Amino acid sequence: MRKNILNLIKSSATNKEDFKALEDIFALYDQLQFASNILQMCDDIYNWLHSTFDIDNITISLFNIETNSKEEILEKGDQFYLDDKLSFFFIINTHTNLNAIVSFCASSESHFDILDNKYSIIESAFFQISPILQNGIIKKNYIESQSLDSVTNVYNRHYLVENLNKQITLSGKEHKKIYFLMVGIDHFKAVIDEFDYDIGDRVLIELAKVIHSNISEFDMVARLTGDEFLISILSTENDSEVENISNRIIENFAKVGVKVSHNPEQILKKTICIGYDTYSFSDNKSIDNTIKNADIALYEAKNKGRSQVFNYQDLSEEDTIDLF
């Protein structure tokens, strides 16, 4: 690729077509420098390929060398396969464990011939932009490592609270209430003691799936330490609906089975409890205090048995909570 870009630079001194190609490449390079994330970079690459080479069908993905897994970042146009006779693909080496794969498909045989003739120009462009893509991927990995739980792929507590504080500031107190639900698996330590951490992780992943399937896209979920998850509900200000959401999560998770052995086949089923408290913009109570209250409510729910929901507002002096 390096040789292609050097040859293009040399020939651009006397060849107007090559000079125009070089201008197009550096226009893409300049555009990508203003991109704020990897998705925007992929959009810019698609727009460049579309406007410069009339390419409509494109897929951009990240391939993880260590895990041998692929993450689709952008898909445009009709579906195609890499072994299609009209398709092209480029692997952009970013010198990290993630390489970018840009694949696209010509719309006809004549279009394929044009793209095949321009192959070295497209290859030169990808060589030129690879350092910018590398920075975008590193930034993406950093953000995800700082904000996502590595096991369940949900947010961590710090990111959730930070994000909510930003939302509150931007919304100008549009939301009157935010419900915080603390979810904990009943006797989770027994899973680790009887089986192992891999089975424990699978239980946590299944719980994360159940939670996501029962909350709105406006709500957020984070994993805290161990088996506890924190949910922020912004999609409703109705107390009874929050109770319904909590009960649905409890009921749905109780039906989930995790296979722990194949011969003989053994299925593990667990239960959860949920405690919650309400953050109101009219109160002086902070978000952190509300989360602490939800945690207290979770312990009270667990004190009452399995598959329980407890509202912190229902806590009375008679209730005894053993936190230690």
Give the mean pLDDT of 97-107: 89
- All CATH 3.30.450.40 domain ranges of the chain, comma separated, are 2-147
Partnered with residue 170 across adjacent β-strands are: none
Selecting from 3.30.70.270, 3.40.50.2300, 2.20.25.90, 2.40.10.10, what CATH number does the domain 155-314 have?
A: 3.30.70.270
Is residue 103 within a helix (H) or strand (E), and if so which, with residue range?
Answer: strand 98-105
- All CATH 3.30.70.270 domain ranges of the chain, comma separated, are 155-314
Q: What is the CATH number of domain 2-147?
A: 3.30.450.40
Q: What is the pLDDT of residues 200-232, one digit of tens each?
A: 999 999 999 999 999 988 888 999 878 999 999
Give the mean pLDDT of 4-14: 82
This prediction's pTM: 0.59
Closest C-alpha to 302, from 321, 316, 289, 288? 321
Confidence tier at 324 by pLDDT (50, 70, 90): very low
Q: What is the pLDDT of residues 160-188, one digit of tens each?
A: 888 777 766 655 555 578 899 999 999 99
Largest Cα–Cα distance of the chain, in whole Å? 90
Picking from 108-112, 191-195, 319-323, which range would have the lowest pLDDT averaged per residue? 319-323
Picking from 28-37, 42-51, 270-279, which range would have the lowest pLDDT averaged per residue? 28-37
Q: What is the pLDDT of residues 112-128, one digit of tens each?
A: 999 999 989 998 998 88
Beta carbons of 149 and 155 less than 8 angstroms apart: yes
